[in-house]
Structure 1
Amino acid sequence: MTTKMKFIAAASLLLAGSAYAQTAGTWMVRAGMAKIAPAVSSGCLSAPDFGNNGAGGAIGCTRSDVSADTQLAGGITYMYTDHLAVDVPVALPFKHKIIGAGAMAGAGDLGEVQALPMTIFLQYRFLEASAKFRPYVGLGATYAYFFNEQGSGRLTATTNPGGPPTKLKVDSKFILTPQIGATFALSDKWFIDVSYSKSKLSTTTHMSTGQSMNVDLDPASYSISVGYKF
């Protein structure tokens, strides 16, 4: 083998080993879908409650549940080192229905709220930077922002019959968000990213009637996206 051929062969091996590299200084963008599914544990509605809270205890009080939602999502990742990355996910606002539970089970939708979780993750990516498959773990600081809360006609009929519509306000919160995920290279530039995160989130819903309800939402987030590496 000539010197020139040896050089070409060595260069080819080098490129093959670094084709999928997520090395320091690499930028990655992605787009896909994300689902947020709350695991709700609701407290009782403050007085006046509409259930048999006095005689029946907590079982008979008015509670609530919250639906899941799926939206377009994506994110931006910067590789600070070959293993440490900073990731900022983005998504359209999630719309969650507030549903009657406890003494109001079967009452249907009591309202709706939009949620926009704003998170920045610090991630650790396992295996070598050139690995085609790279699992990772992360820990994020999240501001769970709730807005555009709307009470339903059924809620008004129950809480303020004959009066003005009952309005809702859900407290926004700062929380920590642990995360696991992985990327799989499709080519030297394109990849698939999947992730799962779970947050401990407790908040309070306030009504214009003066009542309130404490709720543990503890949402899980699932995402899958296609990305491009620079």
Structure 2
Amino acid sequence: MTQHLLRTGCALALLAGCALAHAQSAGSWSLRAGATHIAPQTKSDNLTAPSFPNTKVDVGSATALTGGITYMLTDHWALDLPIGLPFKHSFYGDGAIDGVGKLGETKVVPATLFAQYRFGEANATFRPYVGLGVTYSKFFKNRSTAALTAVTGGTPANPTTARIDNKFGLTPQVGFVWNFTERMFLDVAYYKSFLKTTSHLSSGQSIDMRLNPDVVAIGVGWRF
């Protein structure tokens, strides 16, 4: 009886190990859901004339519900596509206009495709990875405030509006996957997008911004 139980236990362990190896090997797909926090590390140029000297902007952080799709090309190489809701960022006065408050807000969808290399064996419980992606940032629903109109010499009858250029940027990444079971896992990643864009104002002025955000993403997923 004891030998029978031992053989059964070994067989179940072997099957579980095979399932885990298959789940993380070439040809497998996975989906995840969680949240992502984007913290721009803004370096703003000066607003073009006519403006006060050293007129700059800062960009606030944003968090949104996100997820992702991963396809294992081999046991180590993967393609990863983060997906999620748009992020809403607020713009604030900086430099000579620090303290004027919120100047406006925008929504952005940062579409990124990563190529990842995952360390360890296909059946490992813990697998760190590195990745490199290309991000296309789409800005939309730009809104301005009375503070921006005042700073740029507009009037309530003719408020200043803004448009932000959509841009590509490189995005290196580090992270890890921790497998709870052969199917369920936790995915945690940090990455940084190198992104420079320009905001164009209806007043004819413009301002260049290096956003270069730090990004932290966490999700729980299912592999199949």
**Fold match, TM over 0.5?**
yes
Give 2:111's match in structure 1, choosing from 118, 122, 127: 118
The residue type paired with residue 12 of structure 1 is L
Matched residue, 2:76: 83
Q: Deviations over 1:153-203 (max 9, x none)?
A: 111122113541111011111111111111111112111110010011111
Cα distance in 1 between the residues matched to 2:179 and 2:96: 51
Matched residue, 1:139: 132
Match of 2:218, SS state, is strand
Give 1:38's match in structure 2, choosing from 37, 40, 43: 40
Matched residue, 1:14: 14
Match of 1:15, SS state, is helix
Q: In the TM superposition, what are the counterparts of 1:1-230 in structure 2 within 5 Å?
A: 11-21=11-21, 22-50=24-52, 53=53, 61-159=54-152, 160-230=154-224
Cα distance in 2 between the residues matched to 1:62 and 1:96: 19
TM-score, structure 2 normalization: 0.92
The residue type paired with residue 51 of structure 2 is D
Cα distance in 1 between the residues matched to 2:128 and 2:20: 14
Q: Deviations over 1:56-80 (max 9, x none)?
A: xxxxx10000000000000000111
* Alignment RMSD: 1.9
Cα distance in 1 between the residues matched to 2:186 and 2:18: 18
Match of 1:174, SS state, is strand
Match of 2:170, SS state, is strand
Displacement over 3 Å in runs of 4+: 4-13
Cα distance in 1 between the residues matched to 2:192 and 2:156: 41
In structure 2, stretches of 5+ residues that fail to align are: none
Count of residues in Structure 1 that have an aligned counterpart in Structure 2: 220
